[in-house]
């Protein structure tokens, strides 16, 4: 998986169709879209760059607000690891060079179907990263998406994550 998509509960099939159509329009007709056993969560594996997909979907939304009806959030995932603290720590250590020396960061963890300790993950990662932390306005977000025994990890700018509702709201301001 390199995308996690959230939707309203019980609208997963409609969301799957919408996402397949969008990815096909962007040039990937073979995307692997899976409705997970977690309500309101889908994952997708696309051959396209996931950050680019989010960017194009945001442009699409700004162009035609009604073009995305079921996808609520689209989150690009850069790496997948087993859900255990050592694995998560290791992959973030490998990717932490994406945070430049003068940039601030924040660690965001979303857990589903897991009782792994968020606090423990945060303290182990924060010990290894020397940059300043900014909870309000970080330059980069270390995003840890835990879906049962699999964990998606990304280091992103806030703008790399698409929240359809927030984008639509910002258009009416």
* 165 pLDDT above the threshold of 90: yes
The predicted structure's pLDDT at residue 171: 84
| pLDDT (0 to 100) of residue 12 | 98
Tens digit of each residue's pLDDT (9 = 90 or more) over 147-160:
999 999 999 999 99
Helices 164-172 and 50-63 pack at an angle, to 10 degrees, of 40
Q: What is the pTM of this model?
A: 0.92
Pairing status of strand 41-45 against strand 32-35: antiparallel
Which domains does the chain show, CATH number per domain? 3-77+161-172 (3.30.70), 79-156 (3.30.2130.30)
CA separation for the pair 74, 19 (Å, rounded): 10
Residue-wise pLDDT for 20-63, tens only, equals 999 999 999 999 999 999 999 999 999 999 999 999 999 999 99
pLDDT of the residue at 172: 78
Structure confidence by residue, pLDDT tens digits, 102-158: 999 999 999 999 999 999 999 999 999 999 999 999 999 999 999 999 999 999 999
pLDDT in tens, 70-112: 999 999 999 999 999 999 999 999 999 999 999 999 999 999 9
Four-point Cα dihedral 130, 133, 137, 142, nearest 10 = 70
């Amino acid at each position: 998986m390199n995308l996690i998509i959230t939707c309203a509960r019980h609208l997963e099939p409609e969301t799957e169709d919408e996402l397949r159509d969008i990815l096909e329009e962007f040039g990937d007709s073979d995307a692997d879209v899976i409705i997970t056993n977690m309500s309101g969560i889908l994952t997708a594996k696309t051959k396209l760059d996931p950050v680019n997909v989010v960017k194009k979907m945001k442009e699409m939304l700004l162009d035609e607000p009604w073009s995305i009806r079921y996808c609520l959030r689209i989150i690009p995932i850069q790496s997948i690891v087993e859900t255990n603290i050592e694995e998560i720590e290791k992959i973030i250590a490998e990717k932490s060079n994406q945070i430049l020396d003068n940039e601030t960061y924040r660690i965001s963890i979303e857990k589903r179907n897991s009782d792994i300790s968020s606090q423990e993950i945060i303290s182990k990662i924060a010990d290894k990263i020397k940059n300043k932390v900014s909870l309000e306005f970080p330059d980069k977000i270390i995003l840890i998406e835990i879906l049962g025994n699999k964990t998606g990890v990304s280091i992103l700018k806030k703008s790399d994550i698409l929240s359809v509702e927030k984008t639509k709201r910002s258009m009416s301001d």
